Amino acid sequence: MSGTVLVTGGAGYVGSHTAKALAQAGYQPVTVDNLGRGFAHAVRWGPLERGDILDRAFLDAAIRRWQPQAVLHFAAHSYVGESVTAPGLYYRNNVVGSLTLLEAMRDHAIANIVFSSTCATYGLPVRLPLSEDHPQAPINPYGASKLMVERLLADFGAAHGLRSVALRYFNAAGADPDGEIGENHDPETHLIPLAIGAALGTQPKLKIFGTDYATADGTCIRDYIHVTDLAAAHVAALRHLEAGGASVACNLGTGAGLSVRAILTEVERVAGRSVPAEEGPRRAGDPPELVADAARARQLLGWTPQCSDIASVISTAYQWAARQHNRSTP
Ligand code: UFG
């Protein structure tokens, strides 16, 4: 079954890659985005309804116009550090925005939603790898806001029959292998684009946040998952709901962790030059290691990462960054 799907945040990083995957799977993605942090040029596989999910009248009009059969909900702020200094922004946009969307779905009888959640809902790991039944005790407002939305999904499910898949991403990385879209955050805070930018000379020297962790090389370990694999998981989650599958939360990661130093080594290999870097203190709130147990997504959604080997992650991200750089350089 395919048809029209509302994609909130479809002009953003994961949202735009998923819109492409939806179009390739035969769906019509209709992007809802206020373009506050997304880009109109990333909306290439269907129409754009420019507006805010906090604006109920706007949502009603978009739903009436397009009659979507399901919603994929990406629209959110996603900077951990910013969420600590501006929690109101995060609770309003991420929680109140999601509540407004869910009420609109309820009133327009749209039953199925796939939600962008995060491993930040777990907080500090008490065991690794992290499976979905690990306690959820977020340590920052970003993670807390996403966990609150997971709770909204459950309550709307019980009361109104809403059916949901919450996808808990680990570290989203990489870019579209065709080079059509990629990662553009402003400001950029993520390791891989910053390391590539340092190699290209478009970003300052990379600061390694902490070299005294109890890991093999002293730097933090993360589970990097290619954005194209995340996109495929959303299509699989949508199909799961359309086939009558139960509401569920699934981790999306590879199950393998890589250190900051391992990432820098791979960036240097792909770029063919060194990454100017300096060692610095730990960044507040960084857990030493985050690695997913992604067995549930494999079993329930039939999803396995196809392009999340580190060479594919870094080379697609590098190609995207190099192209952006060449465009902006006369
Ligand atoms: N890092 C550096 N230097 C930098 C940037 C990052 O050493 O300039 C390190 C971080 O300390 C961390 C690793 O690189 O160990 C990855 O950092 P990112 O900022 O790229 O990603 P995070 O793991 O901090 O954040 C990701 C998602 C968040 C999510 C979080 C869950 O981007 O949305 O995982 O912990 F909330």
So what's the pLDDT on residue 330?
58
Per-residue pLDDT at 313 exceeds 80: yes
Per-residue pLDDT at 104 exceeds 70: yes
Give the list of residues 6+ apart from residue 87 with CB closer than 8 angstroms, or none.
141
Q: Whose CA is nearest to atom 12 of ligand 1?
A: 220
Average pLDDT over every residue of 29-43: 97
Q: Whose CA is nearest to atom 10 of ligand 1?
A: 209
Q: Write down the pTM of the prediction.
A: 0.97
So what's the pLDDT on residue 317?
98
Please give the Cα distance from 310 to 298 (Å, whole number). Answer: 20
Which of 74, 84, 222, 259 to probe ligand 1 with, by most ligand atoms within 8 A of CB? 222
Digit-coded pLDDT (tens) for 208-218: 999 999 999 99
| DSSP string for residues in 25-52 | TT-EEEEEE--SSS-GGG--SS-EEE--
Give the list of residues 6+ apart from residue 265 with CB closer than 8 angstroms, or none.
none
Sign of CA dihedral 11, 15, 17, 23: negative
- Name beta bridge partners: 89: none
Sign of CA dihedral 66, 67, 69, 74: positive
Q: Which two tokens stand for residue 5?
A: 């799907």
**Closest C-alpha to 193, from 318, 288, 24:** 318
The CATH code that applies to domain 191-222+255-328 is 3.90.25.10
So what's the pLDDT on residue 299?
98
Residue 191 C-alpha to ligand 1 middle, in angstroms? 6
So what's the pLDDT on residue 328?
75
Per-residue pLDDT at 1 exceeds 60: no
Active-site residue flag, 142? yes
Residue 7 C-alpha to ligand 1 middle, in angstroms? 25
Which of 78, 139, 207, 260 to probe ligand 1 with, by most ligand atoms within 8 A of CB? 260
* CATH 3.90.25.10 domain locations along the chain: 191-222+255-328
Digit-coded pLDDT (tens) for 161-193: 999 999 999 999 999 999 999 999 889 999 999
CA contacts within 13 A on the Cβ side of 46: 29
* Mean pLDDT rounded to a whole number for the chain: 97
Average pLDDT over every residue of 112-130: 98
CATH of 4-173+224-252, picked from 3.30.70.890, 2.40.10.10, 3.40.50.720, 3.80.30.10, is 3.40.50.720
Per-residue pLDDT at 223 exceeds 60: yes
Average pLDDT over every residue of 128-152: 98
Q: Considering 90, 142, 213, 318, which one is annotated as catalytic?
A: 142
Give the list of residues 6+ apart from residue 157 with CB closer than 8 angstroms, or none.
163, 164, 247
pLDDT-derived band of residue 261, with 50, 70 and 90 as boundaries? very high
Q: Whose CA is nearest to atom 32 of ligand 1?
A: 171
Q: At residue 221, what are phi and psi to the nearest 5 degrees?
A: -110, 135
Sign of CA dihedral 188, 194, 196, 199: positive
Average pLDDT over every residue of 229-251: 98
- DSSP category for residue 119: G
Pocket lined around ligand 1, Cβ cut-off 6 Å: 78, 80, 118-120, 142, 171, 189-191, 194, 206-209, 220, 222, 260, 283, 286, 290
Average pLDDT over every residue of 64-85: 97
- Name beta bridge partners: 206: 277
So what's the pLDDT on residue 49?
98
pLDDT-derived band of residue 274, with 50, 70 and 90 as boundaries? very high
**Closest C-alpha to 136, from 122, 115, 147, 156:** 122
Which helix (H) or strand (E) segment holds residue 79: the answer is none
User: Contacts for 32-35 with beta carbons within 8 Å, 24 or more apart?
Assistant: 32/6, 32/7, 32/8, 32/59, 32/62, 32/75, 33/8, 33/9, 33/75, 34/75, 35/11
* CATH 3.40.50.720 domain locations along the chain: 4-173+224-252
What is the Cα Rg of the chain in Å? 19
Q: Whose CA is nearest to atom 24 of ligand 1?
A: 286
Residue 107 C-alpha to ligand 1 middle, in angstroms? 38
